[in-house]
Structure 1
Amino acid sequence: MELHQLRYFVAAAEAGSISRASQRCETAQPTVSQQIQKLEKSVGMPLFDRVGRGIALNDAGRALLPRAKRILAEVQDAGRLLRDDLDAGCGGFHLGAIATIAPYLLPGALSQFTRRFDRCELQITEDLSERLVEGLVDNTLDAAIMSTPVEHELVEYQTLATEKMMAVVPMSSPLAKKRHVNLTDLREQPVVLISRMHCLGRQVNEFCATRGVGSRIVCRSSQLMTVLELVRMGLGVSVVPEMAAATSSQSSYHFLPIRTHAPSRVITLAWRTNRGYSPLLRTLAEILKDQLTTLRYHSPKSR
């Protein structure tokens, strides 16, 4: 028993004629007749009496008709309910993010996302870029927020924004009186850096090495918040993402734009190639882009 057979059966029952049923279904008359015969064979009994040029339901047909209508209505409802579920983001969504982005970008972005998809159960994983790529490839992650480069043949990504890096200095430093710094201001300073295990750490370390900054590295840490705390204590200066500056409420250190040759990173939303760019993923990308525009640092003196 197949759905199209039930549709032809209901149309024939209501029209009282195979020819009129074929017109209603926009299907050739022999096809409608053959499919009704197959339906009768599958239920093991005839469903119509042939009356002159028309047809009329017999007892079996009258018994099947309300059931057939109910089945077809439920199938139609299933499609409508599925569309409603998709619009509400029904189900689970596993999002990954690197730790140098997640605490700054996700709170505001996911607040908007969960209002839009109120039936979506979110799971967040913070990890290193390499492990997030593994999660995308083995389908344990639906999407991941990372920084370029994202290099895997099974991973696609969309650029969300380019973010500048900023210098951060303790309030006790003479540099705290400045509105911006040049590379020459940083070259003789003790430096606290984030570990190379992070893509951000590798980017900042490369910048410092090529620009002659960081000849006096006093400490490395795997946590950005620890780096900031060490700067606050006066151990040295550092280079951090602008979003860390934009979301900071601390007054014990001072963020400064780097005037020339400032490093930057490209923030991306990545997903597995054959998973497709779903409406939910498209909406998430739009929300993330909007949220990133709010994570711009404004000096206290310019507020």
Structure 2
Amino acid sequence: MDKPPLDIRQLEAFAAVMSVGSITGAARLLDRSQPAVTRQIRELEADIGYELLHRSGPRISPTQRGVQFHAQVERLLVGLRHIREQAEAIGAATLPAFEVACTPALAAGLIPDALAAVDPTLLPEQIHIQSLSAEGVVQQVLSHAADFGLASLPVEHPGLEVHWIAEAPCVAALAPDDPLAGQEVIALRELAQRRVVTMANPYRLRRRVDDAFAAAGTIPTRMIDTNSSLTALALVRRGLGVAIVEPVMACALELQGIALRPLDVGIPFLFGAISPAARPLPPSICALNEALVKAAAGLIPGFRLHDMAGTDLLSELVYGADHHKEASR
């Protein structure tokens, strides 16, 4: 027989404990009694058949299963809140809310300018913007938890519709008093003896950075890697190295204490817009999509859109020429 659905109040109690870190704090947050929250979590654990929290006197910590379960609960509770917003929009005959998932650099670098350029009458009262890893953006769009997404490449999946793919050259970010800041173009070879700050994900931009250094015949001996362009730029401001970063956030935010210079070697940053396959974009997201391309073209030096039919070129840019040769055999 099918099991009954999980109790929403129990899920709220668990999510509150995970958010606050204590039963007492969760009870205050939910305006419930502490015994009630404790009981609801115990009942939830009994229902699903495993412990969600380690208990050591007054201290609690999530179990490994609890961490995994919390991600699902959080997604459900956010989804329920959005369903209420959609229901209210339907009742009021107003534009439905929409959800956009973006990598942090694209969210901070492009979304504000694009939204500001959209006709206000096309925007709903509620807009949700999530900053996630590129892989997280893809998963949110695939699961229809997000209506639209912006992510770095690669983004390949039969459940996605790719609306456009763009490229822009990475830049070097330096402290203004760095000796190299006086040069108009930074040669990659000059960074061999410097600490280089760049991205950590080996399957996206980091791979192209490493390939560029290898092609230049030099490998930096000192590096700091991070999953955030903003963190990389903050490290540069403190004089901790020279960063090689995507140009979107660096150019759009115009951070003080940062000098940006082009590199003598083109390291492409590739990104694109995606949505769930076979789901037409509503007018509001269509307008946002068009505004994003215009914002990127106006903000990012060297920005260009790729011909979506040029799959061989894109494959070579994303995966490298050697991969393309192997795939064509």
Same fold by TM-score greater than 0.5: yes
Q: How many angstroms does 1:132 deviate by?
A: 1.5
Q: Following the alignment from structure 2 to structure 1, what is the Cα–Cα distance between the partners of residues 206 and 183?
A: 25
**8 Å Cα contact 1:147-1:266 kept in structure 2:** yes
Aligned counterpart, 2:127: 122
Question: Which of 172, 182, 192 is residue 167 of structure 1 equivalent to?
Answer: 172
Task: Say whether 1:294 aligns with 2:298.
Answer: yes
In structure 1, the gaps of 5 or more residues are: 1-81, 299-303
- Give the aligned partner of residue 284 of structure 1: 288
Q: Output the CA distance in 2 between the equivalents of 1:203 and 1:158.
A: 23
> Shift in Å at residue 120 of structure 1?
4.5
1:182-197 map, 5 Å = 182-196=187-201
- What is residue 183 of structure 2 aligned with on the other side? 178
3-state secondary structure, aligned to 2:272: strand
Q: Which residue of 2 aligns with 1:25?
A: none
**TM-score, normalised with respect to structure 2:** 0.58
**Counterpart position of 2:316:** none
Structure 2 CA distance for aligned equivalents of residues 92 and 198 of structure 1: 33
Go from structure 1 to structure 2 and tell me whether the alpha carbon gap of 1:212 and 1:102 turns closer, same or farther (over 3 Å shift): farther
Q: What does residue 270 of structure 2 align with?
A: 266
Alignment length (residue pairs): 213
| Structure 2 equivalent of residue 236 of structure 1 | 241
Are the counterparts in 2 of residues 96 and 127 from structure 1 also a CA contact under 8 Å? yes
User: Where in structure 1 do 4 or more consecutive aligned residues deviate above 3 Å?
Assistant: 197-214, 248-251, 277-281
For residues 221 and 117 of structure 2, the distance between their equivalents in structure 1, rounded to whole angstroms, comes to 43
Pairs within 5 Å for 1:14-29: none
Closer, same or farther in 2 for the Cα pair 1:125/1:250, shift >3 Å?
Answer: closer
1:194 counterpart letter in structure 2: M
- Per the alignment, residue 36 of structure 2 pairs with none
Superposed CA deviations along residues 96-150 of structure 1, whole A, max 9, x for unmatched, are: 0011211111111122236142435211111112122111121111110112211
Name the % identity.
23
- The one-letter code sitting in structure 2 at the alignment partner of 1:279 is P
Cα RMSD over matched residues?
2.8
| Unaligned 5+ runs, structure 2 | 1-89, 303-329
Structure 1 length-normalised TM: 0.62
- Could you say if the C-alpha distance between residues 136 and 245 of structure 1 is closer, same or farther in structure 2, counting changes exceeding 3 Å? closer
**Residues 251 and 214 of structure 1, relative CA distance in 2, 3 Å threshold:** farther
**Could you say if the C-alpha distance between residues 246 and 116 of structure 1 is closer, same or farther in structure 2, counting changes exceeding 3 Å?**
farther
Inter-partner Cα distance in structure 2 for 1:114 and 1:212 = 50
Q: 8 Å contact 1:156–1:273 — kept in the other structure?
A: yes
The SS at the match of 1:276 is coil
Question: Larger radius of gyration, structure 1 or 2?
Answer: 1
- 1:128-139 to structure 2, matched below 5 A, reads 128-139=133-144
Q: Distance in 1 between matches of 2:142 and 2:218?
A: 37
- How far apart are the structure 2 equivalents of 1:200 and 1:94? 26
CA distance in 2 between counterparts of 1:175 and 1:132 reads 36
1:200–1:116 CA distance, 2 compared to 1 (3 A): farther
1:156 corresponds to: 161
Moved more, 268-277 or 250-259: 250-259
- Hey, what's the Cα distance between the residues in 2 that align with 1:207 and 1:142? 35
Q: Is the 8 A contact 1:188 1:213 kept in 2?
A: no
- Residue identity opposite 1:286 in structure 2: E
2:323 corresponds in structure 1 to none
Sort the Cα spacing of 1:140 and 1:127 in 2 relative to 1 into closer, same or farther, 3 A.
same
Alpha-carbon offset, residue 191 of structure 1: 0.7
Is the 1:94–1:141 contact (alpha carbons within 8 Å) kept by the matching residues of 2?
Answer: yes
| Counterpart residue type for residue 287 of structure 2 | T
1:266 deviates by 2.4
Q: What is the aligned partner in structure 1 of residue 150 from structure 2? A: 145
Instruction: Give the secondary structure class of the aligned counterpart of 1:131.
Output: helix
Distance in 2 (CA, whole Å) between partners of 1:213 and 1:127 is: 32
Work out whether 1:253 is the aligned partner of 2:258.
Answer: yes
- Is 2:185–2:262's contact at 8 Å kept on the other side of the alignment? yes
